[in-house]
Amino acid sequence: MTDTLETFIRGLPKAELHLHIEGSLEPEQMFEFGKRNRVDMPFQSVEEVRAAYAFSNLQDFLDIYYQGAGVLQTEQDFNDMAMAYFRRLHADGGVHAELFFDPQTHTDRGLPFSIAVEGLLSGMKAAEAEMGITSGLIMCFLRHLDEEAALATLKAAEPWLDRVVGVGLDSSEVGHPPSKFQKVFRAAKERGLRLCAHAGEEGPPEYVWEALDLLKVDRIDHGNRALEDEALVKRLVASEMTLTVCPLSNLKLCVVDDLKDHPMKRMLDLGLKATCNADDPAYFGGYIGENFIQTARALDLSREELVTLARNSFTGSFLDEERVARRLAEIDAYVD
């Protein structure tokens, strides 16, 4: 039974909509890049790195995550990191991904804007050629920094905006509400970009309202705490708003104490358009397949519910209608 569940999940065509590419940097690759770039590492061994991955909240994780990103120095590093991720995605039945990256994490330590974006774009192109995986790039603004910095980032991205599908908002949530970023989100929309924002991971339901009403997002990343507000749930259901939910991340960052208490099933029961994603798989103990499998086991999700999650990942993606329809047909063919 367990094996059939795993096999069913890994074969199910799916898209990943909530993946920070810097969070896919495995400790082994961190050491490899650190060595080849002669960057001093705060850790002596892979084991020591893994041992440091015990977090009690989002900030605990972010402190280590920004440190880890320091080994990324060249386009080749970003390309290699992306390719390693796409190979894992491919093994998990992933056929499309919309990758978050944090330009400010790199420009603030002196890397030119082009390094991260060109390296990632070349990895994305290679993944499509090699594995048939399509992908899009979403540029996130760091919310612990001010809106002026976000506006400057959007400006620096100008030469690449035709190859970026959208913008996002990530980093430390509490104390940095979406309302802080209205101007830059409006400017991004005017440039034809799609919009998403992390909201309701640690922050209150009000932040989800703000992301909807003030930023006018197309997707909510996480959204767990929306469940505390009945009117908000109604609004999210009525508008068919996609939530990019990340179960293993929620467990590792203590958003839930046990996967058995994870709201994924409740979300589906309420009619919310939830998807299942990895967030930062190198840090949280599993890629998308493992997120599906562990959540399915903990919550006893049915095959129908797993198929709903997979369908939502395409209908909630930024792919055009024709491509969405093609992917949905692949799911239908698989289920038959």
Q: Give me the residues that bind ligand HPA (CB under 6 A), please.
A: 20, 23, 58, 170-171, 198, 201, 249, 279-280
- The amino acid occupying position 12 is L
Residues 102, 279, 290, 305: which binds Zn ion (CB under 5 A)? Answer: 279
224 secondary structure, DSSP code: G
Nearer to ligand HPA, 20 or 265 (CB): 20
Residue 143 interacts, among Zn ion, ligand HPA, none and using kind-specific CB cut-offs from 5 to 8 Å, with none
Residue 201 interacts, among Zn ion, ligand HPA, none and using kind-specific CB cut-offs from 5 to 8 Å, with ligand HPA
Instruction: Say whether 201 is catalytic.
Output: yes
Torsion of CA 223, 224, 227, 233, to 10 degrees: 20
- Minimal distance, residue 253 CB to Zn ion, in Å: 10
- Minimal distance, residue 100 CB to ligand HPA, in Å: 7
DSSP code per residue over 27-45: HHHHHHHHHHTTPPPS-SS
Beta strands in the chain (DSSP E): 14-20, 94-101, 134-142, 166-170, 194-199, 219-222, 242-245, 273-276
Stretch that binds Zn ion, among 73-81, 131-139, 275-283, 315-323 (CB under 5 A): 275-283
- Minimal distance, residue 145 CB to Zn ion, in Å: 17
Q: Is 231 exposed, middle or buried (0-12, 13-18, 19+ CB in 10 A)?
A: exposed
Which of the residues 75, 201, 210, 290 is marked catalytic?
201
Binding to Zn ion by CB under 5 A, coded x per residue (else -) over 223-252, reads: ------------------------------
- The residue whose Cβ lies closest to ligand HPA is 170
DSSP code per residue over 56-89: SSHHHHHHHHHHHGGG--SHHHHHHHHHHHHHHH
Residue 58 interacts, among ligand HPA, Zn ion, none and using kind-specific CB cut-offs from 5 to 8 Å, with ligand HPA
Stretch that binds Zn ion, among 66-74, 120-128, 145-153, 277-285 (CB under 5 A): 277-285
Nearer to Zn ion, 41 or 208 (CB): 208
**Total residues interacting with Zn ion, rule: CB under 5 A:** 1
Nearer to ligand HPA, 30 or 319 (CB): 30
Distance of CA 208 to the CA centre of its chain: 17
Nearer to ligand HPA, 41 or 138 (CB): 138
**Residue 236 near residue 226, CB atoms below 8 Å:** yes
Q: Residue 139 and residue 20: Cα distance in Å, rounded?
A: 10
Nearer to ligand HPA, 26 or 201 (CB): 201
User: What are the beta bridge partners of residue 141?
Assistant: 169
- Minimal distance, residue 61 CB to ligand HPA, in Å: 7
Stretch that binds Zn ion, among 44-52, 262-270, 274-282, 284-292 (CB under 5 A): 274-282
Residue 275, CA distances (Å) to 14, 15, 64, 220 in order: 10, 9, 26, 11
- Minimal distance, residue 20 CB to Zn ion, in Å: 5
- Edge-to-edge strand ranges of the sheet holding 219-222: 14-20, 94-101, 134-142, 166-170, 194-199, 219-222, 242-245, 273-276
- Minimal distance, residue 225 CB to ligand HPA, in Å: 13
Nearer to ligand HPA, 77 or 279 (CB): 279
- Minimal distance, residue 254 CB to ligand HPA, in Å: 12
Q: Residue 181 and residue 121: Cα distance in Å, rounded?
A: 26
Nearer to ligand HPA, 135 or 171 (CB): 171
Phi, psi torsion values for 172, nearest 5 degrees: -60, 115
Distance of CA 140 to the CA centre of its chain: 10
Contact positions toward Zn ion, by CB under 5 A? 279
Question: Which residues does the annotation mark as catalytic?
Answer: 201
